[in-house]
Each structure stands twice: as structure tokens, then as C-alpha cells.
């Protein structure tokens, strides 16, 4: 009899055939059913056999097909027929349970098509296993609801999606399919502990504001400094491009590296940069005025409190050079439209660490994506093993299990310890750690 290379003790291997890519294994179960599954009678009689193909994990790099000679029975008490139950086989599909477990984890890491070929199944089957795996994770994994929440835009497969994060912990707690008000509001509405959210930092996207106000009226909405000063840079860019567009080639060469220098903060300009900027200002006064306006706008964020900042903004707006007013209009309009949320920053500043790590993530995001659906990418971000920031409960021997544990040997006892039921010792999962995600994407691990 061939050796049981399957390592499935419930089966007897009757034949093994090896081809270039595959193992074809014939097997049968070792035990026979004792009772009818319909009426529990033990009066059973054989009623034929049927070969069923069960897929399993690859062995030695070869795909596995197990042809199980499945027995059929008839119950003499109720006359119903049934097939014997196959041990270690998944209830939903003809695969071993260990293959389904492995495939679920792999489906988050690798394209479905690769896995389908490796196992010898259809891509649709891989997708179904993936869906079951993700649904199970959604049901069981609970990310801590952030008290300080960030809602931002991130491009995944050519569409703006909504990324929800925990600002204090630099983690991502969800990625939503789109950034419509309904999508965001539905998500927030179902969020456990949403009434405890204190602050929500958003970019200047009206639907976010509307959704938060409606579902979490207690939360203070803050527009991060980053989103506002970025607008100031964009206004400066408009002026720069306009001026460049009106120049001859020779004049344009005099504006080498202009974008780079103009976007720098004044305090970081050194030696040659300063002299260059001065000469540009002399030749193109509007460019000098735009640089000044950008710098003075940034300086508003040095204010110590809201009233001071509002005063600085009003003086800044009134003092704008007429030649650049049109170019800076989008910034003026944004600040006026979002005044309470922008000024809330002075009471509740968003940490630089968060802003930076999220921007890093946005920067590397386009490296992800080929061959994946949105659902798969979302799962990669949220559920890749080792990506979550978890706070373990304090190490403590649970009282109710201490005695039970004495009964086992040292080693077997360890593995029998179930999750503690004491809620004060609950493990806290803050979500996917953003810097870990960035690192894994950069190293090609995601």
C-alpha cells in the first residue's frame, strides 16, 4: 500500500500517480458512518460508491487531486440515502479544510490567477474563498474606533477612495469604495462607539463634512493645515506658470529651478537661492508678490490661537497685490467657506507625524494595484498578516483556568488556553499601521 503522503490520518491512500505537474491520489476514508444523518438510526446498508475529486495543498511543488472513493448508504429506517461525510474536507467546496485556510490567507497576498494555476482550480473559486475569508475577518476583527479620526482621499485603481484612520495611532481602520456622502455616513452610522469620536480631520470635501455633522454631531471637524497650505502653493504655481507662458525661451532659461525654489519656505532658502529669488522678484514683480503671499499665508499658522489667526487672514486678504488676486482666489474662497473647520486646527492641531505618514502612503499607493480588484487591495491594506498595530493585554494568568491548567503538562497546557473572557484584558487592535504598510509596499511585500 502506498505511503500516506497526504498526512491526513482519516484517509487510506490506495494509489498515487505522479505526472510532470501533478499528483493524482486515490483514497478512501478509514471510518464508516454509524448513524443516519436524517433519523439517527444505525440500520444502514451500502448503496453504491461515487468518486469525488478533492483539491489539496501542493506537495513538492506539484498540484494535488485526491480522488475519494465516497460511499453511499441507505437508511433502512427512513429509506433516505446519503453520502458519507468526508473528514477534513471543507463543507462548502471540494477542497481540504487546510487548503481553504491556506488559500484564504494567500488570496490577500497574491493575485487570484496565480493561485488558481498553482492549485489547479478556477479563478472564480479563489475569489469565493477570498470573499469568505474577508467576510469572516470583517465579522471577527474589530478595529478600535478612533477618538481622533482622519478621513482622507486616496487613489486606488484610478478612483478616489476614502481612507479612514486613527490619527493618534497612525493607523488605518477602513477604506471605503468611494467618497460619497452616503457611503461615508453609512459607514460612520454602523461604527461602534461613534459617539465617542472627539475630532474628525478632513480635507475640504463637502460630503465628508455633511456626513460627520449628520451622524456624529458631537465630533469637532478640523481641516488639517496641510490641505490649506497646499492650496497656497497651488495658487503660487498658477502665477508662475502664467509668467513662464509669456516669456521667450531665453528669458525662461533665467527661471531655472523656479518651481523648486518658489515652493521652499523662506527660512530654508540659502545663499544662491535667495539671490536668485531676489533677481526674479525684480524682473517679475507678480512672481515676487505671489511668493510673498504664499509665505505670509503660511505664517498665519504660526498664530497661537483662533482669533489671532482670523485677524492675520483678514489682513493678508486685504493686502494681496491686485495682479495676483485672481490666482489666489481659490484659497480665499476655501478659507471663507471652511473658516470654522480651518480655524479649529488652532484648538486641535493634527500631528505632523500623521500627515506625513499618510502622505507617504499616498505616494507609494500606485505601486500597488496591478491585477487586483478594489476589494482585494482593501483587504491587503487592512488584513495582511503582521500589518496591524495591536496592544496585547497585560500578561496575567486567568483565574478560572489556573486549575485546569495544572491538569495538563506544561506544553500541552499552553496550547489549550482559549481567549480570555475577561473584558478588561481585551486585546486592542488599532488597525493597519501606516508606516508598516508603506515599508511593505516599498519592499514589494504587499
Task: Give the one residue of 30, 38, 192, 282 binding Zn ion; rule: CB under 5 A.
Answer: 38
By CB under 5 A, residue 175 contacts Zn ion: no
Min dist CB 87 to Zn ion, Å, is 21
Stretch that binds Zn ion, among 36-44, 157-165, 211-219, 397-405 (CB under 5 A): 36-44
Grid coordinates representing 48? Answer: 453504491
Dist CA 33 CA 83 (whole Å)? 9
Stretch that binds Zn ion, among 32-40, 155-163, 232-240, 429-437 (CB under 5 A): 32-40
Shortest approach of Zn ion to residue 32 CB, angstroms? 15
User: Least distance from C-beta 40 to Zn ion, angstroms?
Assistant: 7
Nearest distance in Å: CB 37, Zn ion:
8
Site string for Zn ion, 71-110 (x = CB under 5 A): ----x-xx--------------------------------
Residue 36 touches Zn ion, criterion: CB under 5 A: yes
The whole-angstrom distance between residue 30's C-alpha and the CA centroid of its chain comes to 45
User: In terms of CB distance, is 19 or 34 closer to Zn ion?
Assistant: 34
Question: Residue 50 pairs with which residues in a beta bridge?
Answer: 70
Q: Which of 243, 209, 235, 250 is nearest to 338 (CA)?
A: 209
Nearest approach in angstroms of CB 68 to Zn ion is 23
Question: Would you say 77 or 281 has its CB closer to Zn ion?
Answer: 77
Assign 89 to helix, strand or coil.
strand
Q: How many residues bind Zn ion (CB under 5 A)?
A: 7
Cβ closest to Zn ion, residue 77 vs residue 360:
77
- Tell me the C-alpha distance between 365 and 352, whole Å: 20
Residue closer to Zn ion (CB basis): 36 or 343: 36
In the complex with Zn ion, the residue whose CB is nearer, 78 or 428, is: 78
Q: What is the Rg, in whole angstroms, of the alpha carbon atoms belonging to the chain?
A: 31
| Nearest approach, Cβ of residue 52 and Zn ion (Å) | 22
- In angstroms, what is the minimal distance from the CB of 80 to Zn ion? 5
Footprint on residues 373-412 left by Zn ion (CB under 5 A): none
| Shortest Å distance, C-beta 46 to Zn ion | 15
Q: Shortest gap between Cβ of 29 and Zn ion (angstroms)?
A: 20
- Measure the CA–CA gap between 121 and 106, rounded to whole angstroms: 14
Instruction: Give whichever of 42 and 214 is closer to Zn ion, judged by the CB atom.
Output: 42
Q: Torsions phi, psi of 183, nearest 5? A: -60, -45
- When the beta carbons of 71 and 177 are compared against Zn ion, the nearer one is 71
Please give the order of strands across the beta sheet that includes 159-166: 220-223, 199-202, 148-156, 159-166, 171-176, 428-433, 388-391
Q: What are phi and psi of 297, to 5 degrees?
A: -65, -45
The residue range among 37-45, 278-286, 382-390, 428-436 that interacts with Zn ion, by the rule CB under 5 A, is 37-45
Retrieve residue 40's grid coordinates: 439517527
Residues 194 to 253 in contact with Zn ion, rule: CB under 5 A: none
Angle between helix 285-300 and helix 225-245 axes, rounded to 10 deg: 180
State how far the Cα of 415 lies from the Cα of 75, in Å rounded to an integer. Answer: 40
**Separation in Å, CA 240 to CA 254, 261, 333, 437:** 13, 11, 20, 36
Dihedral pair phi/psi, residue 337, rounded to 5°: -70, -30
Q: Should residue 41 be labelled a site residue for Zn ion when binding is judged by CB under 5 A?
A: yes
Considering only the stretches 38-46, 49-57, 83-91, 360-368, report the one whose residues sit in contact with Zn ion under the rule CB under 5 A. Answer: 38-46
Nearer to Zn ion, 77 or 101 (CB): 77
Residue listed under C-alpha cell 458512518: 33
**Options 40-48, 58-66, 268-276, 293-301: segment touching Zn ion (CB under 5 A):** 40-48
Distance CA 85, CA 80 (A): 15
The rounded distance, in Å, linking the Cα atoms of 56 and 228 is 55
Closest distance of CB 39 from Zn ion, Å:
3
Compute CA distances 234 → 229, 238, 249, 295, whole Å: 9, 6, 24, 13
* HSE-up of residue 196 (Cα within 13 Å, Cβ side): 7
Q: Which is nearer to Zn ion, 35 or 105 (CB)?
A: 35
User: Which of the ranges 67-75, 249-257, 278-286, 369-377 carries the binding residues for Zn ion, by CB under 5 A?
Assistant: 67-75
Which stretches of the chain bind Zn ion, using CB under 5 A? 36, 38-39, 41, 75, 77-78
Amino acid at each position: 500500500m502506498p505511503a500516506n503522503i497526504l498526512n491526513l490520518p482519516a484517509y487510506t491512500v490506495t494509489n498515487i500517480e505522479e505526472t510532470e505537474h501533478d499528483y493524482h491520489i486515490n483514497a478512501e476514508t478509514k471510518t464508516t458512518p454509524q448513524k443516519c444523518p436524517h433519523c439517527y438510526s444505525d440500520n444502514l446498508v451500502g448503496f453504491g460508491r461515487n468518486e469525488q475529486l478533492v483539491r489539496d495543498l501542493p506537495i513538492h511543488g506539484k498540484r494535488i487531486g485526491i480522488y475519494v472513493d465516497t460511499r453511499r448508504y441507505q437508511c433502512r429506517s427512513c429509506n433516505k440515502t446519503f453520502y458519507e461525510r468526508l473528514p477534513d474536507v471543507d463543507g462548502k467546496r471540494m477542497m481540504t479544510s487546510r487548503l481553504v485556510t491556506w488559500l484564504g490567507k494567500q488570496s490577500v497576498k497574491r493575485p487570484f490567477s496565480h493561485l488558481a494555476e498553482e492549485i489547479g482550480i478556477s479563478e472564480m473559486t479563489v475569489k469565493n474563498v477570498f470573499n469568505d475569508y474577508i467576510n469572516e475577518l470583517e465579522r471577527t476583527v474589530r478595529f478600535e474606533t478612533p477618538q481622533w479620526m482622519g478621513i482622507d482621499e486616496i487613489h486606488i485603481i484610478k478612483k478616489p477612495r476614502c481612507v479612514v484612520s486613527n490619527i493618534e495611532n497612525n493607523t488605518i481602520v477602513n477604506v471605503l469604495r468611494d467618497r460619497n456622502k452616503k457611503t461615508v455616513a453609512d459607514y460612520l452610522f454602523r461604527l461602534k462607539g461613534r459617539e465617542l469620536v472627539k475630532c474628525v480631520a478632513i480635507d475640504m470635501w463637502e460630503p465628508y463634512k455633511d456626513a460627520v455633522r449628520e451622524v456624529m454631531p458631537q465630533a469637532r471637524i478640523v481641516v488639517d493645515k496641510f490641505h490649506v497650505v497646499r492650496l497656497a502653493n497651488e495658487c503660487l504655481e498658477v502665477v508662475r506658470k502664467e509668467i513662464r507662458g509669456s516669456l521667450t525661451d531665453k528669458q525662461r532659461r533665467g527661471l531655472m529651478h523656479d518651481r523648486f525654489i518658489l515652493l521652499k519656505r523662506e527660512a530654508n532658502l540659502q545663499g544662491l537661492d535667495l539671490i536668485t529669488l531676489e533677481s526674479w522678484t525684480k524682473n517679475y514683480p507678480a512672481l515676487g508678490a505671489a511668493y510673498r503671499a504664499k509665505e505670509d499665508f503660511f505664517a498665519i499658522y504660526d498664530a497661537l490661537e483662533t482669533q489671532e489667526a482670523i485677524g492675520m487672514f483678514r489682513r493678508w486678504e486685504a493686502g494681496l497685490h491686485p495682479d495676483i488676486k485672481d490666482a489666489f482666489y481659490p484659497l480665499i474662497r476655501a478659507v471663507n467657506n471652511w473658516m470654522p473647520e480651518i480655524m479649529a486646527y488652532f484648538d486641535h492641531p493634527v500631528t505632523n507625524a500623521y500627515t506625513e505618514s499618510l502622505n507617504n502612503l499616498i505616494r507609494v499607493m500606485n505601486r500597488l494595484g496591478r491585477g487586483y480588484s478594489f476589494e482585494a487591495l482593501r483587504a491587503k491594506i487592512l488584513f495582511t498578516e503582521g500589518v496591524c498595530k495591536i496592544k496585547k493585554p497585560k500578561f496575567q494568568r486567568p483565574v478560572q483556568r489556573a486549575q485546569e491548567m495544572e491538569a495538563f503538562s506544561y506544553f500541552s497546557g499552553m496550547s489549550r488556553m482559549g481567549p480570555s473572557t475577561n473584558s478588561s484584558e481585551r486585546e486592542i487592535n488599532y488597525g493597519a499601521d501606516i508606516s508598516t504598510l508603506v515599508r511593505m509596499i516599498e519592499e514589494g511585500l504587499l
